[in-house]
């Protein structure tokens, strides 16, 4: 805390510094930018933050963020109900949508299993996934998880849990580099990986 920065500005900088990818230095730069762009950026941003905090919720069916529940994807009757694509986070869902790689529905786990970080099955949206698999409408579940150690641990665990339900479980194949995070892949690679998915 610098003695020359007022408390309001310091609080803004401290909060900005909590954003992923923003350290204290870039948080200061962002705060100064906002002050300079008070009317075109800062006030609309404050309004957008408050609105999003009030209205955006996790879809009770799939875990996607939306202001309606069920979300627009779950509510879309033209999408294939029989294929569920399992993703780590909503960012990966957006990447798959951008690539036009999947015309079915999704299930957002909210993270990956990570024994080292103490993240177990109960910390993720897995119970609801098993329930959806048991519901009868779903024929195939595609595990679209990053090719990292945690992603593979999670895929292995899910294939065992879902294997008991009788639903066919597949995973993305070629094009996902080892250690690769899904939402960094370009659309073409992601679309190819989805098309060439294979049984787990």
Sites of contact with Zn ion (CB under 5 A):
59, 61-62, 64, 70-71, 74
- Return d(Cα 179, Cα 35) in angstroms, integer: 40
Q: Which of residues 17 and 128 has its CB atom nearest to Zn ion in the complex?
A: 128
The angle at the Cα of 40, spanning 36 to 41, to the nearest 5 degrees, equals 70
Q: Which of residues 70 and 111 has its CB atom nearest to Zn ion in the complex?
A: 70
Q: How far is the CB of 69 from Zn ion (least distance, A)?
A: 8
Q: How far is the CB of 178 from Zn ion (least distance, A)?
A: 30
Q: Which of residues 66 and 150 has its CB atom nearest to Zn ion in the complex?
A: 66
Q: How far is the CB of 58 from Zn ion (least distance, A)?
A: 9
Q: Is 44 helix (H, G, I), strand (E, B) or coil?
A: helix
Q: Which of residues 74 and 147 has its CB atom nearest to Zn ion in the complex?
A: 74
Q: How far is the CB of 81 from Zn ion (least distance, A)?
A: 12
**Contact, 160 vs 130, CB < 8 A?**
no
> 């007022």: which residue's tokens?
6
Distances (CA, A) of 154 to 83, 101, 126, 142, 191: 19, 22, 10, 13, 22
């Amino acid at each position: 805390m610098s003695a020359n920065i007022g408390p309001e500005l310091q609080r803004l900088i401290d909060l900005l510094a909590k954003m992923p990818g923003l350290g204290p230095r870039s948080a200061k730069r962002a705060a100064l930018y906002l002050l300079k762009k008070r009317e075109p950026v800062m006030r609309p941003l404050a309004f957008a933050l408050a609105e999003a905090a009030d209205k955006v919720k996790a879809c009770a069916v799939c875990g996607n963020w939306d202001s309606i529940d069920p979300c627009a994807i779950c509510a879309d009757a033209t999408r294939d109900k029989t294929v569920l694509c399992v993703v780590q986070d909503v960012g990966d869902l957006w990447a798959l949508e951008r690539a036009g790689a999947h015309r079915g529905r999704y299930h957002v786990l909210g993270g990956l299993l990570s024994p080292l970080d103490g993240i177990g099955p109960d910390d993720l949206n897995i119970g609801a996934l098993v329930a959806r698999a048991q519901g009868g409408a779903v024929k195939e579940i595609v595990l679209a998880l990053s090719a990292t150690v945690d992603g593979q641990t999670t895929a292995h665990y899910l294939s065992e849990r879902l294997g008991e339900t009788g639903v066919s479980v597949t995973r993305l194949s070629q094009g996902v580099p080892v250690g690769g995070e899904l939402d960094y892949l370009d659309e073409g690679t992601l679309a190819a990986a989805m098309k060439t998915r294979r049984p787990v």
